A and B are shown apart, each in its own frame.
Chain A
């Protein structure tokens, strides 16, 4: 398990989508936290798309968005959702199926 997830983390590209609603402190915090985690764990292999629902409300139902902010892991499958400002790094890693790099090495 740990081996596979490490492999996943290393080889595949990550497509992440962050749903926010305007430039709220929570949204900004979430984006910053996400960026930090990705840079640490999967540098260069990720792509973050930020969707502002205030501008594109019709996109909310597609990914069944309720809470703001919501991070959706589109790739690699399966689809994962993490809600909140992503301040709890350990939980984000668990949610994304990522094994912390420090432990893996």
Chain B
């Protein structure tokens, strides 16, 4: 009967929702808990049920102006206030302001003798009185199952609980009922039978010694909801649930390019660098300079005035800064300027999902433009491989959707195919840079190439990668007849080439000089010959002149002779 009635309600129109104000919960439930109806929150011991319920009340009182009544069956008001104070909930003040009323209900079986018929009207009256006192809109019953322990007549308890939930519904109270998880059932006493509108299951699982809290909506009548398990965190300001898988693959893409911080690497990437909002994977074996490249990327972002968030799973913040300073990258000013935050955590600090939740939360708070995760492969320690991949997919999707450029480093173990990352996320990466050792001539050098870069023309060359005291430098490797040469082999080869070049130049110079000499000799010879020729010519001229003179003289003499002979003029002409 009751169920049929409820179904009728849910069919008629969209159900109203009461926002919880808890990070992520409203997203998963698309708006909050069903307004004016009871919600069952079940889970094992220590799974965070009481906390969730308390946060629901506190946020209701502070954010939505909806006062709430907390009926505590397990803890006293003082204990409860103290317990949640560590999470920043100032219940005492809220109680004083009549925003929250905590009523401790003590049910002690040893104190109670049962004789004959009874009902739980006393509980109804107490609750009703509490609700009326502060004008409550929200109610928490934590944990009402205690009644089953305290009272022996289960029949009465069951009937009264059914009546209680009906009554709360009629009063329009948005209620959270908490219940302990049973073996093989959601709740020990089968409360899900009574509270059928919304059931939330909290799980606290430990696998490989690492615990992860998970949040799941088992059902939500009359509403769409996420059905997955969502990891959640109990942080210093309450619960935050991570609704990442709700994202679809429909994020906008950017045409904007941002620098990698290494000019020659930008050159390799079509001259402009990475796409904004893309995912860059940097994989390589130990000591290939992954963190240094990440450092350049972060520094470049800060230089542009953007915010950068560096998740370090291997080194402490101070250590990273020291090490990067040795290659000429000083991050300290950026941290001081508030543009950079380095978050160092051991991967085993908490479960993978909790890491994800923590990262998610921090990204939400800090709102970075670029994020570095160094290295993602270390997260393997916090979970098993398929989980790691799922988690990374989520975080990358989240970053992409928010146009945050993400650079992940991944440590490849020696002996494994290099084109394979430990966590198998290569398909998620838009740009994949591979750093590799090139062993040659008794030394180990670093090489880098771009394995892929979606949506841009990129260099196919292997570059030698040098860590200098002014940062990372990329130089072309020597590709010669004897193969790829790097390091000192490259230097030797280069020196040899320089010598050869010099020799060749000297040879040319020598030849040029000798030719010059020859030309000079030839010119000299030509000069001599010309001189000789000129001399001869001059001589000839002289002879001609002498001859003319001679002839002139002869003529003169002849005339003179004729004159002297006093021959007649006429005769002289003959």
Contact = CB atoms under 8 A, between A and B. Distances in A.
Contact of A87 (B105, B116, B147, B150): B116
Contacts of A86: 115-116
B115 A57 contact: no
B113 A68 contact: no
B112 A81 contact: yes
Contact of B122 (A26, A66, A79, A84): A66
Contacts of A81: 111-113
A9 interface: no
Contacts of A70: 118, 122
- Interface size range of chain B in the complex: 20 to 34
A60 B118 contact: no
Nearest to B129: A57
Given A57-B129, A65-B126, A84 B120 contact: no
Nearest to A94: B113
A32 to B, nearest CB: 12
Contacts of B111: 79-81
B125 A57 contact: yes
Contact of A83 (B105, B113, B128): B113
Contact of B119 (A19, A67, A92): A67
Nearest to B73: A66
B129 A80 contact: no
A21 interface: yes
Interface residues of A, number: 32
A105 B121 CA distance: 39
Given A61-B103, A66-B107, A91-B113, A83 B129 contact: no
B121 A64 contact: no
Interface in B215-240: none
Given A21-B125, A61-B103, A61-B126, A68 B120 contact: yes
B116 A67 contact: no
A94 B121 CA distance: 24
Contacts of B114: 82-84, 91
Contacts of A82: 112-115
B568 interface: no
A84 B152 CA distance: 12
B125 A60 contact: yes
A53 interface: yes
Contacts of B115: 82-88, 91-92, 95
Contact of B117 (A19, A58, A87): A87
B128 A57 contact: yes
Given A57-B129, A61-B103, A66-B105, A19 B122 contact: yes
A53 B125 contact: yes
Nearest to A57: B129
A83 B116 CA distance: 8
Contacts of A67: 112, 118-123, 151
In this complex, the member of B106, B113, B128, B150 whose beta carbon has the largest number of chain A beta carbons within 10 angstroms is B113
Contacts of B151: 66-67, 83
A7 B121 CA distance: 36
Interface in A39-78: 53-54, 57-58, 60-61, 64-70
A88 B116 contact: yes
Interface in B90-142: 103, 105-107, 111-123, 125-126, 128-129
B116 A85 contact: yes
A11 B95 CA distance: 46
Contacts of A95: 113, 115
A53 B113 contact: no
Given A60-B122, A82-B114, 15 more contacts: A19-B122, A26-B118, A53-B121, A53-B125, A58-B129, A66-B105, A66-B120, A68-B118, A68-B121, A81-B113, A82-B112, A83-B113, A84-B116, A84-B117, A94-B113
22 contacts: A26-B118, A30-B116, A58-B129, A61-B103, A66-B107, A66-B122, A67-B121, A68-B122, A70-B122, A79-B111, A80-B111, A81-B112, A83-B118, A84-B114, A85-B117, A85-B118, A86-B115, A87-B115, A88-B115, A88-B116, A91-B113, A92-B113
Interface of B: 103, 105-107, 111-123, 125-126, 128-129, 147, 150-151
Q: Which 3 pairs across A and B sit closest by C-beta, in order of nearness?
A: A95-B113, A57-B129, A87-B116
